[in-house]
Amino acid sequence: MKEVGMINGQIDAALTRQGHMDLMMVVDAGFPCPDHVELIDIALAEGVPSILDVLAELKKVHSVEKIVVAQETRDHNPTYFEQATQAFGEGVEVEVIPHAELKERSHGVKTIVRTGDFTAWGNMMLVSGAGDRWKLEIQ
């Protein structure tokens, strides 16, 4: 029995399939998920789990080099925007785009994790990074 790391089997398997530059989304309860994209629905109740809860767990096991977030998030939920875009640390690039474009780009992600979050425009697109394990002879 797996007792450490990502214990949700579906999310763990999805993370294993992520390669450098692949996309994953963590979305709110109302996000319109494309039918052709793998959907892992972990929503239990209103606010449970939250997107920030999921990002905190993903940070422990997943390398992210960029977060893509809607302009509406920054405009309407600036505190949430700051917390979510800092979830993977200060070195992670943040790209801000219109929410309509974020929904369009969702068609190109490998996996969407739907939460019980009701934060308006709380959706986060994660671009998988290479992490700090890669060896370089010369930097």
Active site (catalytic) residues = 20
139 to 33, 128, 136: CA distances (angstroms) = 41, 21, 6
Q: Count Cβ atoms within 10 A of the Cβ of residue 130 and give its class: 0-12 exposed, 13-18 middle, 19 or more buried.
A: exposed
Residue with tokens 């974020």: 102
